[in-house]
Amino acid sequence: MRIASWNVNSIKARLEIVTDWVVADNCDILLIQETKSQDMNFPVSAFINLGWHVVFHGQKSYNGVAIISRFPIEDVTAGLAGDDEDDQARYMEATICGIRVATIYLPNGNPTQGKKFDYKIAWFKRLEVRARELLKAEIPVVLGGDFNVIPSDIDCYDPDGWSGDALTHPESISAFRKLVYIGFCDALREIHPSEVIYTYWDYQAGAWQRDNGVRIDHLLISPEAQDKLVNVGVDKGPRGLEKPSDHTPIWCELVVN
């Protein structure tokens, strides 16, 4: 079972790129972020016509998450508990073939002084609460998405240049690492502990051409999923296409009985 995560930066703008990628047999489950689509406008038929199942949770112009799968999608929940006033579409969970998956678009948090950063850290705390609940279930869990965190210097082409950004702020990194400390595994680092691998390249200043990237898209997996883990990778191909997302897919392979 190959599970991938991809911030597509507008499902409407990137629909053909996404459908071509899944048709090429690149994954069984795709966790999508930043669809920038209201539910009424989500291109459901594009995936159903391919024989895929799809669920989505969106809002106009911003955020938005979705899950598409070759297999039936069950027990879907949209939104992250813990703040009844938070209406941003950033989180959705579902069960597929006995694996609990979540698609996550964590807040950016910039600037670091103010409400946006406070919201990011509060969101992280809510995610930790939910992550602890999922661990108690003792089932395979994959938390995948754009976490907007650069966990360490190896994950950034220019650590000094990114100093002071919300993505490298000590509180952001601490919140991300807390998820690992409580029992989740950073799947990519489990297989590639010291390799320089990026998932995001800015559109500006020739970042893609210079390979000036960062790793902010992550797959965090429960111990039960870690036991089934056989491979992890990042597919840079879509980033090199015409009019791509600034992110590219990250994927992991789990052995499924």
Q: Kindly give the confidence (pLDDT) of every residue in the chain, 257 residues in length, as a single tens digit, with 9 standing for 90 and above.
A: 999 999 999 999 999 999 999 999 889 999 999 999 999 999 999 999 999 999 999 999 999 999 999 999 999 999 999 999 999 999 999 999 999 999 999 999 999 999 999 999 999 999 999 999 999 999 999 999 999 999 999 999 999 999 999 999 999 999 999 999 999 999 999 999 999 999 999 999 999 999 999 999 999 999 999 999 999 999 999 999 999 999 999 999 999 87
**pTM given for the model:** 0.98
Could you tell me the CA-to-CA distances from 32 to 92, 116, 127, 241 in Å, in that order? 10, 22, 18, 18
Query: Whose CA is closest to 93, among 69, 118, 66?
Result: 66
Cβ-contact 10, 246 below 8 angstroms: no
Q: How many CB atoms lie within 10 A of CB 114?
A: 10
Query: Whose CA is closest to 41, among 17, 15, 20?
Result: 15
Cβ-contact 221, 141 below 8 angstroms: yes
The domains of the chain are located at 2-254
Tell me how far apart the alpha carbons of residues 129 and 118 are, in angstroms, rounded to a whole number. Answer: 17
Tell me how far apart the alpha carbons of residues 205 and 199 are, in angstroms, rounded to a whole number. Answer: 17
- What is residue 26's predicted lDDT score, i.e. its pLDDT? 86
Q: What angle do CA 15, 5, 181 make, to 5 degrees?
A: 160
Tell me how far apart the alpha carbons of residues 131 and 135 are, in angstroms, rounded to a whole number. Answer: 6
Asked: is 2-254 a CATH 2.40.30.10 domain? The reply is no
